[in-house]
């Protein structure tokens, strides 16, 4: 939509089309409320809103709260159509107001009018997924990094998570939000060019494709829809589901090559398994190739075979398999070899497959699997295992997904490497010229279900930079609201060790040898939601590497030896250019973006016990 069509902005999220679950008929909102909500909201307790208070909210507000708001840890097992039904049943209030007119750019302030080089398109500035911005496009050098200061802040109203992956195209910043709003902002001032309401939370970055004189943005949402919009106007070009499964969850940024976008698919089904009545599991990870201009499907590759019934749980619920092997991250394009590299997650149910926890190469024209290397075998795991519930598979694995993209690195000697980091804490190098032959492996972290390399590493062609999460969760405190079914407890809980986790390691590309280690910084002072873990993606420019932390700090380190160049505390309130209330929190997920002399970072990530927040921050060197 255009900046002037603000009346359409707050379109009720549940009005977007969604598919009925294969496992159940359309649910009744009252029944869903009785099953999941009544035990808390029908009671009288000061800290829990009563049912009467919920009925004063809009359906869209309630749905957003369930999707990625204050109730997200409780809503994990609840299917999408159940969330929609309970939101319709409870919600009777008016929608939130649109941004004020003063937040929009003036008509004489055109969109995408800046230099073509000042861009960061997609998860990484180029197809390699190295998250390296060269000197010309960065327009920021290591000597200027210590002089960085906040230039403007933009709030995501009503959100408690800020996890979108920003993209920059010719002086315009595009980013999604937990509320499902995609915004086009001026990169220097933060004024709004246009806003687009997706079908659910958008953490995916933007693939950028050209169609004649038109620039197309392709991105995905966490309710399973892929969207293509005109970058200049925000008008929808097409919208499709790459997967029919109800629990489809699209987090990875689509990759683009020659007018085709490759959409990775993962799933919420791992958390649906917390419900003992859920038949686990039937989702299959996949890659779908769409033509960018019209959404035509060119090919689709599934990463596990079609599931079959395998038995039943101790509670009598049917079980299915194989399942899982979702793709959480952006595929890596190797145009020279005609290959598309992907990394995969674990299996959710037996039987285990050889394609889970793997690094794989697909033919870019057909989707045919050319080669595959599994790094952790028999990793069959779902969220029921953490809760010791009936849907946990026997002999369950360690949950050592690949959550980050593989990086294609061109060495000075003319050889290439493909490098991947795993939640196990291991980093691997492969030879793309020899069917992905493993070359070296190095441990950079302890690894765990929420540890190791989470969202992404970076390389400048001289070294590899890997930050690790290794968050340590403490036993829930009495009265914290956490329990065995929802070990993360409420958002911003204090069940994280303030002294353990994190660290940034530089590795020699040719050998995997450690060059230096920048140790984590303990939380000071210790506080709810604080951990020194560094799960977010890393970004590098010549001379400096940026890494955020769950303690709310964004830091820059010298690439030569790892000494600290700059840090900024984001866990505080901010005045915003769009006039909405904003507060920073933990940094996780998408890492900083650098383009045109500016650094951009989202702050706020409570899902795994971190501190909530809802702000996009823009930094530039002090003049």
Helix 80-90 to helix 59-68 angle, to the nearest 10 degrees? 140
Q: What is the CA radius of gyration of the chain?
A: 23
Please state, in angstroms and rounded to a whole number, the distance separating the CA atoms of residues 448 and 556. 26
Burial category of 351 from C-beta neighbours within 10 Å (exposed 0-12, middle 13-18, buried 19 and up): middle
Can you list the alpha helix ranges (DSSP code H) found in 125-217? 135-138
Q: Domain residues of the chain, as ranges?
A: 99-432+450-621
Please state, in angstroms and rounded to a whole number, the distance separating the CA atoms of residues 609 and 557. 26
Which comes out higher in pLDDT, residue 474 or 442?
442
Residue range 439-463: average pLDDT?
Answer: 96
Can you list the alpha helix ranges (DSSP code H) found in 363-409? 383-386
Q: Which residues contact 20 (CB under 8 A, 6 or more apart)?
A: 26, 81, 246
Please, which pLDDT band fits residue 315 given cuts at 50, 70 and 90? Answer: very high
| Total Cβ atoms within 10 A of residue 296 | 12
Instruction: Tell whether the model's pLDDT for residue 6 goes beyond 80.
Output: no
Which comes out higher in pLDDT, residue 115 or 142?
142
Residue 132 φ/ψ, nearest 5 degrees = -110, 125
Is the CB of residue 325 less than 8 Å from the CB of residue 319?
no
| Total Cβ atoms within 10 A of residue 559 | 22
For 145-166, write each residue's pLDDT tens digit.
Answer: 999 999 999 999 989 899 999 9
Question: Could you tell me which residues are beta bridge partners of residue 296?
Answer: none
Is the CB of residue 419 less than 8 Å from the CB of residue 508?
no
Domain range 99-432+450-621, its CATH number among 3.90.245.10, 3.60.9.10, 2.140.10.10, 3.30.1330.40: 2.140.10.10
90: nearest Cα among 62, 71, 115, 113:
62
DSSP one-letter string for 20-31: PPTTSPPPPHHH
Please, which pLDDT band fits residue 623 given cuts at 50, 70 and 90? Answer: confident
Q: What's the pLDDT at 384?
A: 94
Residue range 511-522: average pLDDT?
Answer: 97
Distances 193 to 157, 218, 454 between C-alpha atoms, Å: 17, 18, 33
Is the CB of residue 458 less than 8 Å from the CB of residue 492?
no
Instruction: Tell whether the model's pLDDT for residue 485 goes beyond 70.
Output: no
Residue range 103-121: average pLDDT?
Answer: 90
Please state, in angstroms and rounded to a whole number, the distance separating the CA atoms of residues 408 and 540. 15
**How does the average pLDDT of the chain come out, rounded?**
90
Residue 599 φ/ψ, nearest 5 degrees = -120, 130
Please state, in angstroms and rounded to a whole number, the distance separating the CA atoms of residues 236 and 225. 13
Q: Which residues contact 40 (CB under 8 A, 6 or more apart)?
A: 48
Q: What's the pLDDT at 45?
A: 66
| Total Cβ atoms within 10 A of residue 490 | 20
Q: Kindly state the tokens that stand for 457.
A: 């590493």
Q: Kindly state the tokens that stand for 264.
A: 């990775």
Q: What's the pLDDT at 133?
A: 97
Residues composing the chain: 623
Which comes out higher in pLDDT, residue 485 or 399?
399
DSSP 365: T
User: What sign for the dihedral angle of Cα 32, 36, 41, 47?
Assistant: negative
| pTM of the complete model | 0.91
Q: Which residues contact 258 (CB under 8 A, 6 or more apart)?
A: none
Distances 351 to 177, 306, 307, 530 between C-alpha atoms, Å: 36, 12, 9, 38
| Total Cβ atoms within 10 A of residue 97 | 10
Please, which pLDDT band fits residue 479 given cuts at 50, 70 and 90? Answer: very low
For 566-578, write each residue's pLDDT tens digit.
Answer: 999 999 999 999 9
Residue range 488-516: average pLDDT?
Answer: 83
Is the CB of residue 164 less than 8 Å from the CB of residue 151?
no
191: nearest Cα among 572, 568, 618:
618
Q: What's the pLDDT at 280?
A: 96
For residue 81, give the 3-state DSSP assignment. helix
Q: What's the pLDDT at 48?
A: 74
Instruction: Tell whether the model's pLDDT for residue 138 goes beyond 90.
Output: yes
Q: What's the pLDDT at 510?
A: 95
Instruction: Tell whether the model's pLDDT for residue 57 goes beyond 50.
Output: yes
For 530-552, write each residue's pLDDT tens digit.
Answer: 999 999 999 999 999 999 999 99
Q: What's the pLDDT at 21?
A: 37
Residue range 202-216: average pLDDT?
Answer: 94
């Amino acid at each position: 939509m255009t900046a002037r069509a603000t009346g359409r902005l707050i379109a009720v999220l549940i009005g977007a089309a969604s598919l009925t679950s294969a496992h159940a008929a359309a649910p009744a909102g009252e029944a869903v409320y009785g099953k999941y909500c009544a035990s808390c909201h029908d009671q009288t307790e000061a800290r829990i809103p009563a049912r009467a208070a919920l009925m004063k909210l809009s359906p869209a507000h309630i749905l957003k709260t369930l999707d990625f708001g204050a109730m997200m840890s409780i809503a994990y097992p609840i299917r999408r159509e159940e969330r929609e039904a309970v939101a319709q049943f409870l919600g009777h209030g008016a929608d939130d107001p649109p941004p004020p007119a003063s937040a929009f750019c003036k008509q004489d302030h055109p969109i995408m009018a800046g230099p073509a080089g000042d861009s960061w398109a997609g998860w990484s500035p180029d197809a390699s997924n190295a998250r390296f911005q060269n000197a010309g496009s960065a327009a920021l050098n290591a000597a200027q990094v210590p002089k960085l200061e906040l230039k403007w802040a933009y709030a995501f109203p009503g959100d408690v998570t800020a996890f979108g992956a920003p993209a920059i195209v010719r002086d315009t910043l595009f980013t999604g939000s937990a509320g499902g709003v995609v915004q086009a902002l001026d990169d220097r001032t933060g004024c709004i060019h246009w806003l687009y309401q997706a079908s659910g939370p958008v953490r995916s970055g933007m693939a950028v494709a050209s169609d004649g004189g038109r620039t197309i943005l392709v991105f995905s949402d966490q309710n399973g829809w892929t969207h293509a919009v005109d970058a200049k106007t925000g008008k929808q070009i097409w919208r499709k589901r790459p997967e029919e499964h109800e629990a489809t969850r699209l987090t990875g940024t689509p990759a683009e090559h020659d007018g085709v976008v490759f959409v990775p698919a993962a799933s919420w089904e791992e958390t649906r398994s917390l419900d003992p009545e859920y038949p686990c599991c039937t989702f299959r990870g996949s890659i779908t190739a769409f033509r960018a201009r019209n959404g035509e499907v060119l090919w689709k590759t599934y990463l596990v075979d079609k599931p079959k019934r395998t038995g039943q749980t101790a509670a009598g619920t049917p079980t299915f398999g194989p399942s899982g092997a979702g793709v959480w991250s952006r595929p890596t394009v190797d145009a020279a070899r005609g290959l598309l590299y992907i990394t995969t997650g674990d299996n959710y149910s037996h039987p285990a497959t050889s394609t889970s926890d793997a690094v794989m190469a697909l033919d870019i024209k057909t989707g045919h699997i050319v080669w595959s290397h599994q790094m952790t075998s028999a990793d069959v795991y779902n969220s029921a295992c953490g809760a010791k519930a009936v849907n946990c598979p026997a002999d369950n694995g360690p949950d050592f997904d690949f959550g980050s993209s593989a990086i294609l690195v061109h060495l000075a000697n003319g050889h290439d490497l493909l490098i991947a980091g795993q939640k196990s804490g291991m980093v691997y190098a492969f030879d793309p010229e020899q069917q992905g032959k493993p070359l070296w492996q190095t441990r950079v972290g302890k690894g765990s279900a929420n540890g190791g390399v989470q969202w992404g590493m970076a390389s400048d062609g001289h070294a590899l930079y890997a930050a690790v999460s290794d968050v340590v969760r403490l036993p829930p405190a009495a009265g914290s609201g956490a329990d065995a079914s929802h070990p993360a407890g409420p958002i911003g809980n204090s069940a994280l060790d303030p002294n353990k986790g994190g660290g940034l390691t530089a590795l020699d590309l040719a050998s995997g040898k450690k060059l230096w280690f920048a140790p984590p910084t303990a939380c000071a002072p210790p506080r709810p939601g604080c951990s020194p873990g560094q799960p977010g993606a890393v970004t590098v420019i010549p001379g400096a590497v940026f890494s955020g932390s769950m303690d709310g700090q964004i830091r820059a380190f010298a690439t030569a030896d790892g000494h600290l160049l700059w840090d900024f505390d984001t866990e505080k309130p901010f005045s915003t250019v769009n006039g909405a209330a904003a507060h920073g929190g933990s940094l996780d997920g998408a890492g900083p973006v650098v383009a045109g002399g500016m650094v951009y970072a989202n702050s706020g990530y409570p899902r795994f016990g971190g501190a909530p927040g809802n702000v996009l921050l823009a930094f530039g060197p002090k003049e």
